[in-house]
Chain A
Amino acid sequence: MSGSPPLDAVDRTWSRRSAMRLAGGAAFCAFSAGPARAQAKDTIRFGLTPVFLTNDLELLNSLQAYLAHETGYEIELITRRTYQEVTALLVSGQLDAAWICGYPFVHYRDDLELVAVPDWNGKPLYQSYLIVGADREATSLEELSGDIHAFSDPDSNSGYLVTRTLLYEQALDPEIFFRKTMFTYGHRNVIRAVASGLAQSGSVDGYVWEVMREIEPDLVERTRPLRKSEWLGFPPIATSKVLSHSPRIEALTKALLSMAEKPEGERVLSMLRLTGFESADPSIFDGIAVKVALLRGVL
């Protein structure tokens, strides 16, 4: 899971469908409603993420209620369309914490600190899937030459970086190898693009693809993973280094790490299909860091 939720203003209704579009956002994106406004001492600006569950509002309300209860702070949630916007808000200190992608975390490693990392199936790891239409017979990346390819977000690890690195390793330029590339700003959108035939292949978050297979089987079963990447660090909740030792972040960290132990927290986790949060070592993002290093100077 990578990046912040691609929710745009049009989708503020938080319908199930719009929430699914946010599924790509792996970060709890906390953000401010406006630029540099004075922050109340008892408020945590927090981004809650993307949810692929049956009722987004229910999830958001549950998470907000849980965090508010556990931390004793008011919780404020907002989203942005691209990961870049969310990351910029976080790095600039306009958000207390955000659920971002591993790629921006590695990119801004010097400015950011981990708060907690979600556990999926008990591990803070996930994969990137290269997906194609379910009926397509292709078996390798080379066969995708000439495709229209759907990426999720230029700041997404699973939805861009992994495939981009793969091509680089094979000395392929995506703008030449593919007939056309497009950014859909949402992992669910990548699945929609490939399932509908708008794109012939796509790069998508493996966690999102697997969870959506349960929630929207009709859509997801029109696609299949052509290639799964190695296991990489799950999109973390991060904060700026400046705030990392503040009482708000400590309270937030505690609340997240103990989520699996509380009934309210368990309810939130079940909606997210996660098993909990852990205080993981930043080294789990080394795999992503290697890719970033590899492409340094190219991107």
Chain B
Amino acid sequence: MNILSRIRRLPLTVRVPMTVAILMVAVSGLISERVLDRLSKTQEVYLQRLASAYLDGVVASVTPSVLREDSWEVFDGIERMKPSADDILPLETVVTGKNQIVLASSDPMARETLRSLDPEFIGAFNGTGVRIDANTRSGYVRRDITYQNQLIGAVYAVFDVSSLLRERRQILVTLLATNTVFTAFLGFIGFVTVRRMIRPMQVLETHMIDAAAGSSTLIADSEFPVANKEAVSVYRAYNALVRSEMERQVLARQLAEEEKLASLGRLASGMAHEINNPLGGLMNAVDTLRLHGERRTVRESSIELIQRGLHGIREVVEAALATYRPERLTRPLADQDFADLRLLVRPELRRKQQRLDYQIDGTIDAEPRWPAGPIRQATLNLLLNAAAATPEGGRVGLQVMVTRKELDIAISDQGSGMPDSARSILSDRTNKQVPRDGSGLGLWIVREIAGDLGAAITVSRETGSDTVVRLSVPRTISEVSKVA
């Protein structure tokens, strides 16, 4: 199982030639087995014929001597019948009379004359056919000697079949060598062919992997395979997909920009209101100065009033500038940023007669991983979202906690709970889809910022009916790793 899964993980350029090679080995093994089996049968037939010819000669030569039980004549007959020119020579020939008594053998030292033939030796013979024993490299064959339909004896012959076994081995070696060369050759051809065939797919794969990593690029015309129409078609489809995605991203950026402008508009009207309030007092103070400026107490209280009004206006203007001036976005986050945010959402809160519960635990140090711009943007979006969700006269919470590991920003509202669609936009990082109708764009921007910062977003319902969105921005990766 483990091996199978490992094989499955191998690249196609290896798997296909390997499959071809395995099939070739299987086919060649089958063919080799058939050839050797056929050869084995042919050799046995050959040996059978050769042995039959030999035994016929021996039987014809010794039959009269067997009848007379003349050991010398039997021995002389065996000696005279011994062939010398064939590859397959009889190693031993034994002629027995009745009751398996040895009349003579080619080697009387081994088979003593006029003694019973060794039962073990007789056991090596199998009927009248040839029995080949690869261990002893011998072929065993026997023939009955009959005279006038009476069994008068038998001839046992043992042949040296080394040459037959050698031939088998040579053929086996030849088959193996040939098949090995063929298999290796076909495997190589398969490897090259498959590699050529799937090269376009590899190009596509590379582009798709890049696209999945967030940097999709078009397949260049130079990479288009000229002859492979299927690949060209797929490449074109892919490029069309990439173009579509690029357009979507552009659109998303435009939408984000519009959303930013929209929120800016809301802020601007709030800011105008903020500026307008002191402006009425300022105008009154100016009128008072004009009418009663000569009076010192009036003049001083009017100037004091004008100064406070102008100071308030400056705070509002600076907060706006800090949020929307790009050159300030990359500096590290500071406590002042949260003060600015409070200022920025105040008009919206005031409009809905809401109250902001602000709390900060710990001191925000200059952490490079906490850029002011994106965190301000994300927090502002979440605060505006909370303000929108919270009914009039309600309460919006902003709780900042600085720990050794992370910056934890929790925004709570008293709304009826975050809908699933909005929750999905916040928490599902795999969903790269830009909200089509612009709703939820602010939350989408929050999620993109969180993604860039490596921050986690959790949505929960906590104390009472409050909904809490928690943005946890880690410090540097190495520190986080140590903690983990």
Query: Interface of A with B (CB < 8 Å)?
Result: 10, 148, 150, 179-180, 182-184, 189, 192-193, 196-199
Chain B residues with Cβ below 8 Å from A180 are 71, 113-114
Chain B residues within CB distance 8 Å of chain A = 70-72, 75-76, 79-80, 104, 107-109, 112-114
Q: Which residue of A lies closest to B80 (CB)?
A: A10
Q: A182-B72, A183-B72 are in contact. Are A148 and B114 (CB under 8 A)?
A: yes
Contact of B72 among A10, A189, A197 (CB under 8 A): A189
Set B76, B108, B114: member contacting A197, Cβ < 8 A: B108
Q: Provide the bound-state CA to CA distance between A189 and B76, in Å.
A: 9
B109 touches A196 (CB 8 A): yes
- Contact partner of A182 (CB less than 8 A), chosen from B71, B79, B80, is B71
Residues of A within 8 A of B109 (CB): 196-197
Chain A residue with Cβ nearest B79: A192
23 example contacts (A-B, Cβ-Cβ < 8 A) are as follows: A10-B80, A148-B71, A148-B113, A180-B71, A180-B114, A182-B70, A182-B71, A182-B72, A184-B76, A189-B72, A192-B79, A193-B75, A196-B75, A197-B107, A197-B109, A197-B112, A197-B113, A198-B71, A198-B75, A198-B104, A198-B113, A199-B72, A199-B113
**Bound state CA distance, A89 and B108, in angstroms?**
37
Chain A residues within an 8 Å CB radius of B75: 193, 196, 198
Q: B71 contacts which chain A residues (CB < 8 A)? A: 148, 180, 182, 198
10 tightest Cβ-Cβ pairs between the two chains A and B? A197-B108, A197-B109, A198-B108, A182-B72, A184-B72, A198-B75, A196-B108, A198-B113, A148-B113, A182-B71
CB-defined contacts of A192 to chain B, threshold 8 Å:
79
Verify A179–B72 contact, CB threshold 8 A: no
Q: Name B61's closest neighbour in chain A (CB-CB).
A: A10
What are the residues of chain A within 8 A of B76 when measuring CB–CB? 184, 189
Q: What is the minimal beta-carbon distance from B168 to any residue of chain A, in angstroms? A: 34
**Contact partners of A183 in chain B: CB under 8 A:** 72
Contact (A179, B108) CB under 8 Å given A193-B72, A193-B75, A198-B72: no
**Measured between alpha carbons, how far is A162 from B128 in the docked complex, in Å?**
47
- For B112, the chain A residues whose CB sits under 8 A away are 197
Complex Cα gap A132–B112 (Å): 16
A186 to chain B, nearest CB (A): 9
Kindly list chain B residues whose C-beta atoms are within 8 Å of the C-beta of A148: 71, 113-114
A26 CB, nearest partner CB in chain B, Å = 20
CB of B142 to closest CB in A, whole Å: 21
Instruction: Knowing that A182-B72, A183-B72, A184-B76 touch, tell me 9 more A-B residue pairs with CB under 8 angstroms.
Output: A182-B70, A182-B71, A184-B72, A196-B109, A197-B107, A197-B109, A197-B113, A198-B72, A198-B113
Which residues of A sit under 8 angstroms from B104, Cβ to Cβ?
Answer: 198
- Complexed CA–CA distance, A197 and B114 (Å): 12
Residues of chain B within 8 A (CB-CB) of A189 are 72, 76
